[in-house]
Amino acid sequence: MARPRMFDEDRALDAAMKLFWTFGYEGTSTQDLCEATGLGRSSIYNTFASKRDLFDRSLRHYMETRTATQLELIQRSDLPIRERVRRILWDAVDPDPADPLGCLVVNTLVELAPHDPEVAELLERDHAVKTHALTTAFRAAQAAGEVDAGHDPAALADYVFVVLSGLRVSARAGATRASQAAVVTSALRTF
């Protein structure tokens, strides 16, 4: 009879996610994971199979929660499109203080995607879902007269997520809140 697990797997996954978010895949050791999760090596490997499996699950968990939050906001037709975009971008200016700076997706895009087609495909699918939703929202905003019809909705959606990625990279590099806020203000003037 197998021994029951004596730990909260979701809590361990969240702790690992924050560690990968802070230090990246290569910068996180198995010992770091043991210390952050409170698990021994055998528990980590029995539960998650490998460091890579734990990373993949952490990345998917991050994307599922973050993407769901962004999609919910994007689809809020009770808010003007500029307010929805402002809130998306403001998340990088005023992040949850319990979260590491930056973005696990952006970090992974730079660290692993160039040489890992599986990760690159996963990240591209996540990006496509978000940009499709925002493109749809921009089209609806154009139909409602909120956005000039001369703008390309897909280009605007890409632009928003490029600005968001830049804000998150800048945050990791120590950008001030004031400079980040100025970027958001400028971005909102483009449409």
Q: Is residue 50 part of a domain?
A: no
**In the predicted model, what is the mean pLDDT of residues 178-187?**
98
> What is the number of domains present in the chain?
1
Predicted TM-score (pTM) of the model is: 0.90
Q: Report whether pLDDT(185) > 60.
A: yes
- 3 in any annotated domain: no
Q: Is residue 2 part of a domain?
A: no
Instruction: Using alpha carbons only, give the angle 158, 160, 166 rounded to the nearest 5 degrees.
Output: 100
What does the pLDDT read at residue 7? 60
Comparing 109 with 3, which gets the higher pLDDT?
A: 109
Cα torsion at 171, 87, 63, 177 (round to 10°)? 10
C-alpha count within 13 angstroms, C-beta hemisphere, residue 35: 6
Q: Residue 5: inside a domain, yes or no?
A: no
Whole domain around residue 148: which residue ranges? 59-188
Rounded to an integer, what distance in angstroms lies between the CA atom of residue 44 and that of residue 58? 13
Instruction: Please give the average per-residue pLDDT across 183-189, as a whole number.
Output: 98
pLDDT value at residue 4 = 47
Separation CA 130–CA 37 (nearest Å): 31
Task: Decide if 126 is inside a domain.
Answer: yes
Cα(22)–Cα(7) distance, integer angstroms: 23
Quick one: DSSP state of residue 173? T
Percentage of the chain lying above the pLDDT 90 cut: 87
Domain of residue 102, CATH code: 1.10.357.10
The count of other CB atoms within 10 Å of the CB of residue 91 is 19
104-147 pLDDT tens trace: 999 999 999 999 999 999 999 999 999 999 999 999 999 999 99
- Mean pLDDT across the stretch 34-54? 89
Structural domain contains residue 130: yes
In the predicted model, what is the mean pLDDT of the chain?
94
End-to-end CA distance of the chain: 62
Domain membership flag for residue 20: no
